[in-house]
């Protein structure tokens, strides 16, 4: 299908904002530019996590639990994102902005595609805090689940749906601080050491917080560009492609805060479509029942 063009007299050269989200998530994850291979090839990723082990002890007592760190290995397939933009010589002669708009959106569309996969990786967070409303206590509990030793040298961020931003501002009031150093698109403020950002494709009532160690973007450096031309009909086609892989690589560095409720499951057999949680510290962590979720002490979380 040919592109729609206009006479310059009627054309406004304002390029329509086509971003689905201005928030570049690559700043919130670890970048690994060592990716090699082609689309469809497997990449084995170690997903690290640790168990809680903090206990309140009286004189003469010792720990009964030990923090255990380990990893599970998961296989991911390398992704190849490609888009195509075509235009005719006559279109470019009538209005050069056709090429500018098309190639610019090729980059924008690629940006959105990679961004979506990074955000999808953050949403694989297995640790969860349940709250009746988004507020200061919920964020403090979320940070506690991260079990970080030195908060002063760690940058923690959270992604919030736009409909929750007003609720947050009303609930937090003076607890919501503004840090000039984080003044960028999407930044809302800082609460309990967490820098809050607006992410318009986040789920309402759900906030994901974490550090850069949670998600890794395995990236093959550079974007490939290929062009072809059909001289007989003066049609030009531009292909752009990117090889990458976004994965949750450290489950101990991301937490979901969910507005809802948690209750002990009544299931006596495992339901394949359900997600089960085990109590962990002041929250919950995704788990897999062996046979009987009820007797094994699993919970279900229901969003409000």
Which residue is it, tokens 């969860």? 128
Beta bridge partners of 196: 158, 189
- The string of pLDDT tens digits covering residues 100-135 is 888 888 888 888 888 899 999 999 999 999 999 998
- The string of pLDDT tens digits covering residues 251-271 is 889 999 999 999 999 999 999
Give the three-class secondary structure for 74. Answer: strand
State the Cα–Cα distance between residues 209 and 194, nearest whole angstrom: 8
Q: How far is CA 68 from CA 51, 54, 296, 297, in A?
A: 5, 12, 20, 20
CA-wise closest residue to 27 among 201, 254, 217, 247: 217
- The string of pLDDT tens digits covering residues 183-196 is 777 888 898 889 99
- The yes-or-no verdict on residue 178 having pLDDT over 80 is yes
Cα-Cα end-to-end distance for the chain: 45
On the 0-12 / 13-18 / 19+ scale of CB atoms within 10 A, 241 is: middle
CA-wise closest residue to 112 among 202, 14, 223, 18: 18
The backbone torsions φ and ψ at residue 81, rounded to the nearest 5 degrees and listed phi first, read -100, 130
């Amino acid at each position: 299908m040919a592109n729609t063009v206009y006479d310059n007299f009627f054309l406004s050269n304002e390029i329509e904002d086509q971003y689905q989200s201005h928030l570049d998530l690559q700043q919130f994850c670890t970048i690994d530019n060592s990716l090699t291979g082609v689309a469809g090839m497997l990449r084995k990723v170690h997903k690290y996590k640790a168990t809680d082990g903090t206990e309140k002890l009286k004189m003469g007592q010792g720990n009964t639990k030990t923090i255990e760190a380990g990893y599970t290995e998961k296989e991911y397939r390398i992704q190849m994102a490609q888009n195509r933009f075509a235009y005719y010589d006559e279109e470019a002669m009538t209005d050069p902005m056709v090429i500018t708009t098309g190639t610019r959106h090729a980059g924008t569309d690629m940006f959105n595609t990679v961004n979506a996969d990074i955000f999808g990786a953050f949403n694989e967070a297995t640790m969860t805090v349940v709250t009746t409303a988004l507020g200061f206590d919920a964020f403090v509990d979320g940070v506690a689940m991260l079990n970080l030793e030195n908060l002063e040298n760690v940058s923690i961020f959270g992604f919030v749906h736009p409909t929750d931003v007003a609720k947050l501002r009303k609930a937090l009031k003076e607890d919501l601080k503004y840090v000039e150093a984080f003044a960028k698109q999407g930044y809302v403020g800082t609460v309990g050491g967490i820098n809050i950002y607006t992410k318009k494709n986040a789920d309402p009532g759900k906030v994901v917080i974490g550090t850069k160690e949670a998600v890794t973007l395995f990236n093959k450096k550079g974007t490939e560009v290929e062009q072809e031309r059909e001289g007989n009909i003066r049609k030009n086609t531009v292909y752009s492609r990117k090889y990458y892989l976004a994965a949750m690589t450290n489950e101990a560095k991301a937490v979901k805060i969910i507005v809802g409720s948690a209750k002990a499951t009544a299931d006596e057999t495992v339901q394949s479509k359900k997600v089960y949680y085990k109590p962990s510290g002041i929250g919950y962590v995704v788990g897999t029942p062996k046979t009987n979720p009820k007797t094994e002490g699993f919970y279900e979380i229901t969003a409000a």
